[in-house]
Amino acid sequence: MSLLNHYCHRGRAFWSWIKLLWQRGDEDGMTILAGHLAYISLLSLVPLIAVIFALFVSVTSRPY
């Protein structure tokens, strides 16, 4: 029975930690910040991919 109490206590402690983490993330606006970061990252990757694609096409289209 002691082992069951141990795991029950661990489970409650873990659940409390998850609730605290969710509450702090909500208070700090972490989901909004993560959305902004993802949007800016995609905006910066699109021109980079376009330049790499243009360089690849220019290198592979030269006659040898």
pLDDT of residue 6: 85
User: What pTM was estimated for this model as a whole?
Assistant: 0.51
Looking at residue 3, its pLDDT comes to: 84
Q: Say whether pLDDT at 1 is over 70.
A: no
**What residues contact residue 31 under an 8 Å CB cut-off, 6+ apart?**
25
Chain segment 16-60, per-residue pLDDT in tens:
999 999 999 888 888 899 999 999 999 999 999 999 999 999 888
| Confidence (pLDDT) at 7 | 87
User: CB–CB of 25/31 below 8 Å?
Assistant: yes
Domain boundaries, the chain: 7-61
